[in-house]
Structure 1
């Protein structure tokens, strides 16, 4: 018998589960997230093995979902020093790289940037010859100072040649340890947002390396030395650790998507709202055919605009540890929280702070701790506070729905015990078994995906373009760790670009497959 272990590191708790070959839950563990994330992961792994009695050598796959890369950007900590090459002069000189970036983030990562001649028009026609000498000079100036280089060429989704050639030149000049991020592998159409996503990816190289090495070390310390290692992506699928080191930006916002995928697996629902309540926040996402709905809005990551794919999520300050103030007509719910300190600070646990969990216990929604510690509050006051908590959730539900029709809602996360069994705008409230570790289950059962987005114009027939795009997406899924024989195309989007000549179309294809064993 072989097993998989899955860990999801949240701001409040680190959740870990072990599943068997039939994807049945064997054991689950919930520990407090520590300042040293690696130590917290190691503690959760050890607890899982001890509780289940499983031989560590029987664990063949290990999956990790974490906010480590997101936190690195938000906190401006642990990021790589980078150089940026934009290929597109003289057409793209008006707005330089890093425009609109927060100063503290720019100061953290910036070594240098250069705009060189080259690139292509939207129809594939060359703008200018690639200035190879300028690229070589930039590389020479940065040598010894950069850990990574971001390369972006105008309209590279149409023609990747200049980005590939710039990579070849810089590899000749720079140290072997330097990482390269190419924009056509990361972002979509739209030069500035694609460039920003590429720069962020390059800046996360060292953070991702520490994250992966810390996970590997935690596994080895617990006797798991031969397992295949995967990290979760923000579309609810997995990628090999080696793939994650190339594209660490794909891990951003992966935590909520793990919960969404876990909710789908536990409830067997493929189309529903997912309400994930933690210790500090509630995240609401949407299941569409078993996967998280993607946002159609421009994604801002650490105050940087990108066109990077992101899950469509709404987060707000309501969790199990949310502080409740001014009981009565002027009751205030959050948005601050005691977070992982709830077991020490909540009234029902003997603390001195009134929290959302205390209110839920006071109104009889859940049984936890010592209810006598909140029995002295007037009934009408606690009911008013609870009603305000429910209203916050119902308002968010209304914002996430695309129609007025009621839809099922799946409650997951340890904090979801504070919510009622009926919510306005919801046809059915579903509380699946093991809802409290849906995030860890989601990362453990996830499949592997690959996605491409490309513009096809002159010389491409529609069917040829679609076949090419499907092949590229399938190859991406295999590179990320999928078994080629199981890969299937789950989403195709083609948009005719009427304003471009040559019957141009933008094609986006997503392929998903099972783990390669």
Structure 2
């Protein structure tokens, strides 16, 4: 019996959807406009591909969603949970309060219930002071019916998470299983403030993620599809619904990473630079062994610095709907404003009143869209200058992402990739694969499931071989918990960084494991 899977990726302009068979071949694809409520756009896209494919609905076994729900909630400051912030680190961390450096409006929303508790650990796992359990019981009783989500952060919890786990037990004992608990040791890496921010943001979008999952599952049911549901996450892999409910913050950059994974699959290249041209921006990322290269820098989300895993990307204000402003016969500006999903009504070639990058490539005969007569009056010499600058913007972004001067393969994907030529400076060759317009949805559909561990080990106590083995085993366990088939899980990335400033021959080990979907993964939302 042939089986099928649906991949959907929600972008700012388009909601892309694909239906793949069990050989990962594209059976049906579509680009629908993203709607304000997001769910309607998802439903329309899903209905189109299922109707067009005309396959037995009972044979559609999997559905994968890459969504901007959580990102939008943080950026727009809407639909966030009632959060309590608990830092275990007194008296060592009293000088710097939680949510320092976070924008005022976000701090007002998330900083109403902030508590500092005695406890925490040193870098080598020794307790700073004993955990103040009595204080935690007091806090739990004070928070009854005031919050629905708690962010728990302890000093150096990536080394020892004992205090965070004990705090979670106490909150669950007093407040019951319905309270959502986010532990920093499971979310961020070493670096207290950034890890704490990431944990607070995770706690704030639990309800948003639940609504997104319920909406997606309802859309499937309305279409008569009983598929197993997975979410895309930042590193280009999938997680089960249950895992996504616990770690929704890991979904915030899944769109660009889905595009990179889709580009790798469609081009059959494991190492390359990917340029994903959308309606509003172009995202440039790097494939390393078929996965996105991760950023080594702190990443801001909604103005809050965080340090959990995110793809290393450069985004530029150039897309298919980017607005061109002509000041005189010699000068012009490109973006960053865009007509976005309104391109079919605003672009000149479609009868609109706004000059966009799409109009430029149509007028120059580089693409066949809309009505070329509507742009025939434009000055071709000026348009050529605009086009040269558009290409230069992308070439500069590619150059910023390269680690050497050597030419590298460049893969073009996204609906806006029609803007770019077949040759680019710095590229050994340019590939525009079939189905490149929906590479993000394909990346969502074919993605594997991953787990990642980052931890400091004192090698004088454990030894390097035992430290690496321990980290590998934990990463494999994380992948299996996230929904991977145990027999298919492999280690895909290892990083071992000696920490010369810490005694005891300390090293920071980061390991990522990935595997294929587990067939009996959960669908139900608990």
- Shorter-chain TM range is over 0.9
What's the counterpart of residue 461 of structure 2? 459
SS at match of 1:106: helix
SS at match of 2:140: helix
Q: Any conservation in 1 of the 2:13–2:34 contact (CA below 8 Å)? A: yes
| Aligned-pair CA distance for 1:396 | 1.2
| Aligned-pair CA distance for 1:503 | 2.3
How does 1:130-279 map onto structure 2 within 5 Å? 130-225=131-226, 227-279=227-279
Q: State yes or no: 1:376 paired with 2:377.
A: yes
What's the counterpart of residue 427 of structure 2? 426
SS at match of 1:459: helix
SS at match of 1:196: helix
Q: State yes or no: 1:20 paired with 2:24.
A: no
SS at match of 2:461: coil
- Uncovered stretches (5+) of structure 2, i.e. residues with no partner: 520-526
SS at match of 2:173: helix
| Aligned-pair CA distance for 1:504 | 1.9
Structure 1 CA distance for aligned equivalents of residues 160 and 85 of structure 2: 19
Q: Any conservation in 2 of the 1:111–1:145 contact (CA below 8 Å)? A: no
What's the counterpart of residue 69 of structure 2? 68
Q: Any conservation in 1 of the 2:453–2:512 contact (CA below 8 Å)? A: yes
Structure 1 CA distance for aligned equivalents of residues 336 and 500 of structure 2: 46
Q: Any conservation in 2 of the 1:111–1:146 contact (CA below 8 Å)? A: no
| Aligned-pair CA distance for 1:468 | 1.1
How does 1:443-482 map onto structure 2 within 5 Å? 443-457=444-458, 459-482=461-484
What's the counterpart of residue 283 of structure 2? 283
| Aligned-pair CA distance for 1:107 | 1.9
How does 1:363-402 map onto structure 2 within 5 Å? 363-402=364-403
Q: Any conservation in 1 of the 2:189–2:307 contact (CA below 8 Å)? A: yes
Structure 2 CA distance for aligned equivalents of residues 385 and 235 of structure 1: 35
What's the counterpart of residue 407 of structure 1? 408
| Aligned-pair CA distance for 1:499 | 2.4
What's the counterpart of residue 522 of structure 2? none
| Aligned-pair CA distance for 1:138 | 1.1
Structure 1 CA distance for aligned equivalents of residues 339 and 35 of structure 2: 15
SS at match of 2:481: helix
| Aligned-pair CA distance for 1:261 | 0.4
CA offsets 1:255-285 (integer angstroms, 9 cap, x no match): 0000000000000111111001111111111
CA offsets 1:291-317 (integer angstroms, 9 cap, x no match): 101111111111101111110111111
SS at match of 1:439: helix
| Aligned-pair CA distance for 1:136 | 1.1
Q: Any conservation in 2 of the 1:4–1:60 contact (CA below 8 Å)? A: yes
| Aligned-pair CA distance for 1:492 | 1.0
What's the counterpart of residue 312 of structure 1? 312
CA offsets 1:144-163 (integer angstroms, 9 cap, x no match): 11111011111111111111
Root-mean-square deviation (Å): 1.1
SS at match of 2:70: helix
SS at match of 1:69: helix
CA offsets 1:9-56 (integer angstroms, 9 cap, x no match): 111111110101111111101111111211111111111111000121
What's the counterpart of residue 323 of structure 2? 323
| Aligned-pair CA distance for 1:90 | 1.0
Structure 2 CA distance for aligned equivalents of residues 381 and 505 of structure 1: 56
SS at match of 2:208: helix
Structure 2 CA distance for aligned equivalents of residues 381 and 467 of structure 1: 61
What's the counterpart of residue 523 of structure 2? none
May I ask how many residue pairs the two structures share in their alignment?
516
Q: Any conservation in 2 of the 1:299–1:309 contact (CA below 8 Å)? A: no
Q: State yes or no: 1:512 paired with 2:514.
A: yes
State the TM-score, normalized to the length of structure 1.
Answer: 0.98
State the TM-score, normalized to the length of structure 2.
Answer: 0.97
Q: Any conservation in 2 of the 1:328–1:385 contact (CA below 8 Å)? A: no
Structure 1 CA distance for aligned equivalents of residues 180 and 403 of structure 2: 41
What's the counterpart of residue 443 of structure 2? 442
Structure 2 CA distance for aligned equivalents of residues 424 and 492 of structure 1: 32
Structure 1 CA distance for aligned equivalents of residues 426 and 174 of structure 2: 60
Structure 1 CA distance for aligned equivalents of residues 124 and 346 of structure 2: 62
Q: Any conservation in 2 of the 1:328–1:384 contact (CA below 8 Å)? A: no
CA offsets 1:355-386 (integer angstroms, 9 cap, x no match): 10000011111111111111111221111111
Q: Any conservation in 2 of the 1:111–1:142 contact (CA below 8 Å)? A: no
Structure 1 CA distance for aligned equivalents of residues 433 and 329 of structure 2: 34
